């Protein structure tokens, strides 16, 4: 193929491609021109300043706006808050209405087209143009509706465009409880209202409608914590205040009654309580009054005093209201997250020590032979996190002697920064109470029973496990009991008797049970006995001496023990004194250990007996 043929083919390709795209462009132009020919109106959506939507069997919903301004409701109640996005959408669809066909009105009976009782009467004002549209029945193809424009033109308008104009009032109103759901609420007020209803009986009751002292909480931003301003100057209970605020901020109203005849029917004359929210946008206070709970739909009647209507929201918000005003306070002694700390200093009348988590688990510092009980640390932190004061006390901590506390707890954050400090001191006039300074500064009166578990010595965190190991890793056991030495070894996955000679185990299960019991052996009390002569504990001539060989993760064998068990304790006949190598102090073990050993010895028999 020579170059002339190639060039000719290329030119032909270009021409055909141009013709194809030209045809496509023309089709688009034709469609646009057809659409423009069907366009009913020439005004822009922003030109629409008044809309009236009257659906069959319903009152008209009417809204107006200044050109380019905000919508405001006119009917059925001027205090209804409009939903601007929906009114804008209706105006946009009105401006874009298309006629599918124009029908000659001459000699027609409008009742035949459903226009004697219209399904929708739609009126609007756009600039100087007044629009009156009445929609009737669907035409036979079920694609379009008959519409009468300004009483002199009968049109067909697509059913989808009819749908966009045929909006119920609930679509056109702002059903959100607050004006701006995206704004941050920075002020919260709550007050009970005396209703005089039901069983509310007092010798000298307040006047009906009188409010209790309001509870006021504020914050600077969404990231800030709530602080109580009234009636106390203290930290607010974040869960309580946040819970009520969020429930109201994102609630959606339903069952609107725009012109209630008697507010008493809804429990709103007077209301039971009031909540007022203020956001960080325009600083406008938005108040909500709460009435009866409606059993039929699980809601509660609510009214905003700046609007006449009553509506229903989910009654979940009622469950978030505390029974006691004190519950609006943050009464926990530790208000920060426990997980942010990795060191706790505990200072009491007789000792000061620290427990620290340096990445390998919590440990009591300054005691190399001390084995820390992680469960005891977790329980202590949990107790601290849940400890709550009873009564808020005004004034500075020094007024209650907390400048010289009996107990001081200081928690240090992992990332540095200011530690959290909690101070405790006995109440001078009530032996069952303490004064406590919260980590945020306020002082509370608190029950002694609540803080007693926080006032511990370092021995409280001592592990009660005496011989903790994995039973599957044990491969040797030796003990001396009642004048006889015993030795056992695991070989090829089975336990064999090394000493006494000529003996065997009648049951591997019995061996596994004693190994399991030893691996979980604990002292019944956290604190070991204080120093005393060994003869006083029977440990100079122990009843039982026991040790186990355990294989480590590296394959090396280490010995746990020996554990020595001595005399029965003076105050508990079911406990015995005990010592274990590598740990200071005299512990206690339960008598059950001796009983378990005796039971185990019954499984040791002559080899000859096992062969038979």
pLDDT of residue 27: 61
* CB-neighbour burial class of residue 535 (10 A; exposed 0-12, middle 13-18, buried 19+): exposed
Scored b (16 or more CB within 10 A) or e, 347-357 reads bbeeeebbbbb
Q: Could you give the 3-state DSSP secondary structure of residue 180?
A: coil
pLDDT of residue 368: 58
Q: What is the pLDDT of residues 105-137, one digit of tens each?
A: 887 898 999 999 999 999 999 989 999 999 999
Please check the confidence at residue 199 and state whether its pLDDT lies above 70. no
d(CA 296, CA 582): 70
* Residue 269: alpha-carbon gap to chain centroid: 35
The count of C-alpha atoms lying within 13 angstroms of the C-alpha of 337, restricted to the half-sphere facing its C-beta, is: 3
Please check the confidence at residue 377 and state whether its pLDDT lies above 80. yes
d(CA 366, CA 353): 8
φ/ψ of 558, rounded to 5, equals -125, 155
* Tokens found for residue 600: 């185990």
pLDDT of residue 463: 83
d(CA 393, CA 445): 7
Dihedral over Cα of 85, 86, 91, 93: its sign:
positive
Instruction: Confirm if 469 and 550 have CB atoms less than 8 A apart.
Output: yes
pLDDT band per the 50, 70, 90 thresholds, residue 25: low
Residue reference for tokens 């974040």: 238
Residue reference for tokens 């929609």: 135
d(CA 246, CA 313): 13
Please check the confidence at residue 5 and state whether its pLDDT lies above 70. no
pLDDT of residue 456: 92
| Percent of the chain at pLDDT exceeding 70 | 91
* Tokens found for residue 71: 């919508």
Please check the confidence at residue 32 and state whether its pLDDT lies above 50. no
Degrees to nearest 5, angle at CA 555 with 549 and 557: 25
pLDDT of residue 33: 47
- Greater confidence, 203 or 431? 431
Please check the confidence at residue 31 and state whether its pLDDT lies above 50. no
Q: Could you give the 3-state DSSP secondary structure of residue 397?
A: helix
- Greater confidence, 263 or 199? 263
Q: What is the pLDDT of residues 291-303, one digit of tens each?
A: 999 877 789 999 9
Task: State mean pLDDT over 143-153.
Answer: 93
Whether the model clears a pTM of 0.75, i.e. scores above it, the answer is no
Query: Over the chain, what is the mean pLDDT?
Result: 89
Task: State mean pLDDT over 69-83.
Answer: 92
Task: State mean pLDDT over 445-471.
Answer: 91
Please check the confidence at residue 201 and state whether its pLDDT lies above 70. no
Task: Describe the crossing of helices 592-601 and 508-519 by its angle, rounded to 10 degrees.
Answer: 160
Helix (H) or strand (E) holding 577: strand 575-580
pLDDT of residue 236: 93
pLDDT band per the 50, 70, 90 thresholds, residue 531: low
471-611 CATH choice from 3.20.20, 2.30.30, 1.20.144, 2.60.40: 2.60.40
Q: What is the pLDDT of residues 534-579, one digit of tens each?
A: 567 999 899 999 999 999 888 899 999 999 999 999 888 999 999 9
Strand partners of residue 273: 192, 290
Please check the confidence at residue 476 and state whether its pLDDT lies above 70. yes
Please check the confidence at residue 15 and state whether its pLDDT lies above 90. no
Please check the confidence at residue 594 and state whether its pLDDT lies above 90. yes
| Percent of the chain at pLDDT exceeding 90 | 68
pLDDT of residue 532: 55
Could you tell me which CATH class the domain 185-197+207-328 is placed in?
mainly beta
Q: What is the pLDDT of residues 316-375, one digit of tens each?
A: 999 999 988 989 999 999 998 888 999 999 999 999 999 999 787 888 876 656 778 888
Closest CA to 592 of 604, 605, 578, 582: 578
């Amino acid at each position: 193929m020579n170059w002339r043929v190639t060039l000719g083919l290329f030119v032909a390709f270009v021409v055909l491609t141009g013709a194809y795209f030209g045809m496509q462009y023309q089709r688009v132009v034709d469609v646009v021109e057809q659409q423009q020919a069907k366009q009913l109106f020439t005004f822009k959506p922003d030109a629409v300043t008044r809309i009236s939507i009257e659906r069959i069997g319903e009152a008209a919903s009417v809204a107006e706006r200044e050109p380019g301004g905000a919508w405001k409701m006119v009917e059925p109640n001027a205090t209804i808050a409009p939903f601007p996005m929906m009114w804008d959408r209706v105006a946009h669809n009105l401006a874009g209405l298309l006629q599918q066909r124009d029908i000659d009105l001459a000699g027609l009976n409008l009742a035949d087209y459903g226009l004697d009782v219209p399904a929708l009467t739609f009126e609007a004002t756009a600039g100087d143009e007044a629009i009156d549209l009445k929609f009737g029945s669907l035409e036979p193809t079920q694609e379009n509706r008959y519409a009468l424009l300004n009483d002199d033109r009968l049109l067909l308008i697509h059913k989808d465009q009819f749908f966009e104009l045929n909006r119920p009032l609930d679509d056109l109103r702002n059903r959100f409880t607050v004006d701006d759901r995206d704004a941050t609420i920075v002020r919260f007020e709550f007050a009970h209202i005396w209703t005089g209803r039901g069983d509310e009986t007092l010798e000298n009751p307040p006047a009906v409608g009188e409010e209790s002292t309001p509870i006021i909480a504020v914050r600077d931003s969404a990231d800030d914590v709530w602080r109580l301003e009234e009636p106390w100057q203290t930290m607010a209970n974040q869960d309580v205040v946040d819970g009520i605020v969020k429930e109201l901020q994102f609630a959606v109203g339903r069952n609107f009654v725009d012109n209630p005849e008697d507010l008493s029917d809804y429990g709103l004359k007077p209301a039971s309580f009031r909540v007022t929210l203020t956001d960080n946008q325009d600083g406008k206070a938005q108040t909500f009054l709460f009435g009866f709970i409606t059993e039929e739909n699980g809601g509660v009647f609510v009214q905003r005093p700046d609007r006449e209507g009553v509506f229903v929201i989910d009654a979940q918000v009622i469950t978030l209201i505390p029974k006691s005003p004190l519950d609006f306070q943050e009464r926990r002694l530790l208000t920060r997250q426990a997980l942010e700390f990795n060191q706790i200093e505990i200072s009491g009348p007789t000792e000061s020590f620290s427990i620290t988590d340096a990445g390998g688990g919590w440990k009591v510092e300054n005691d190399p032979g001390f084995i820390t009980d992680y469960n005891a640390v977790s329980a202590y932190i949990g107790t601290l996190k849940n400890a709550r004061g009873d009564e808020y006390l005004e004034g500075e901590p020094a007024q209650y002697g907390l400048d010289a506390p009996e107990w001081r707890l200081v928690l240090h954050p992992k990332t540095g920064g200011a530690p959290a400090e909690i101070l405790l001191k006995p109440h001078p006039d009530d032996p069952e109470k303490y004064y406590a300074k919260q980590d945020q500064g306020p002082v509370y009166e608190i029950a002694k029973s609540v803080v007693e578990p926080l006032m511990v010595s370092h021995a409280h965190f001592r592990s009660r496990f005496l011989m903790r190991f994995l039973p599957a890793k044990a491969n040797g056991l030796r003990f001396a009991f009642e004048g006889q030495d015993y030795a056992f070894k695991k070989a090829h996955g089975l336990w064999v008797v090394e000493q006494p000679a000529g003996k065997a185990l009648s049951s591997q299960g019995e061996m596994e049970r004693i190994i399991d019991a030893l691996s979980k052996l604990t002292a019944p009390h956290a604190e070991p006995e204080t120093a005393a002569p060994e003869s006083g504990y029977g440990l100079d001539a122990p009843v039982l001496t026991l040790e186990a060989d355990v294989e480590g993760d590296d394959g090396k064998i280490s010995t746990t023990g020996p554990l020595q068990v001595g005399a029965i304790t003076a105050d508990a006949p079911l406990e015995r004194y005990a010592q274990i190598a590598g740990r200071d102090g005299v512990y206690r073990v339960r008598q059950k250990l001796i009983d378990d050993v005796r039971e185990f010895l019954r499984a040791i028999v002559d080899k000859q007996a096992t062969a038979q």
